[in-house]
Amino acid sequence: MDDFKGKVAVITGAASGMGREFATMAASLGMKLVLGDVQRKPLEKAAEELMDGGAEVIAMVCDVRKSAHVQELADSAMARFGAVHLVFNNAGVGAGGLIWENSKEDWEWVLGVNLYGVVNGVRAFIPVMLECAAKDPAYRGYVVNTASMAGLINSPALGLYNVSKHAVVALTETLYHDLKLVDAPIGTSVLCPYFIPTQIAQSHRHRPDELRTDEIMTASQMAAQALTEKAVGSGKVSAAQVAQLTFDAIRAERFYVFSHPQALGTVAEHADAMVHGRQPPDPYAATPHLRDILKAGLKGRR
C-alpha cells in the first residue's frame, strides 16, 4: 500500500505516544482519520489539533477491551467515510512483577487491552475491509498490530506484558497467512518497538475502576515499574521515528517492523537455544544494568 491520499486510517490509542504520531503522519499524507482512545481530554485535544491542520477527523472514546466500542468505531468510520483502508490496532498498557504475583484483575486488564484490543480490532475491521474490497477491484487495505520486542524476548518480572505481546505476534502472523489464504488485497505488519519514550509506564492511571484492587504493590511490581520508567525514559528512538518506520514498512509491505533491530541478536539466541535444546538465554546479557535494577528492587521483598 503506497497511495494514502484521501484514504481512511483508523487508530486506537491515538491520543498519545505512537498512536498520536501515526495520526500526525497519516494526516500529513492526506488521510481521513478515525481516532479512538480511553482518554477523553487528550483525545479531544489531538483531534482539534489535527482538524486545525486541515484533516477530517472522527474522535471517539473507545475502550478496546470492549468489542462493542471497537465495532462502534468501525460503524462510525463507514457511516462517515464509506470505507476503511488502514487500521492501527495500537492501544496498549504495561504491567510487571513476578508472574505469580499478578492478580486476576492485572491479567484481565493487560490481556483485555493488549490482546483483546487487537482481537476486537481484527474482528471488527477485517470484515469491513473485505466488503470494501468486494465493491472496488482497485481497493488495497492494510492492518498494523502493535506488539513489542516483549513479544519476542521474555524478560523477567515482565511476564504478564510478555504473554500479551507474544499473543499479538502469533495473532498477526496467523492473520497474514489467513489473508493470503483467501487472496485478500489486505496487507499486514506486526510492529515490535523496544523502549520508546511514551507514557506506557504511567498507563496504570487509566486502569478501569472495576479492575483496580486494594492490594499494595509488591516489591517485584515496584521494581518492574522502576525498570520500565528508566528504560522508556532513556529511549533514544522517538515515537515519531517509529511512525516513519511503520509507514515505510506499509509502503514496502514488510511484515516485521523493529524500532531497534540491534536487539534481534537476543531473539536469534533464543531461537537457537530452542532448536538445540538449551536453557533460555539471559535477555539482559547485553544490558546487565537493567537486571541489576530488578535485583536491587527485590532485596528483602515481601
Where in the sequence numbering do the catalytic residues fall? 161
> In whole angstroms, how far apart are CA 39 and each of 44, 45, 63, 89, 99?
9, 10, 9, 16, 28
Collapse the DSSP code of 256 into the 3-class scheme (helix H, G, I; strand E, B; otherwise coil) and give the result: strand
| Sheet bearing 57-61, strands edge to edge | 57-61, 32-37, 8-12, 86-89, 141-146, 186-192, 256-258
Helix, strand, coil shares, percent, the chain, to 5 = 55, 15, 30
Q: Which residues contact 194 (CB under 8 A, 6 or more apart)?
A: 148, 149, 235, 237, 258, 259, 260, 263
CA distance 302 to 286: 29
Residue 259 near residue 194, CB atoms below 8 Å: yes
Amino acid at 195: F
Q: How far is CA 1 from the centre of its chain?
A: 20
Cα of 184 vs its chain's centroid, Å: 23
**Among 72, 187, 174, which residue's Cα sits nearest to residue 129?**
187
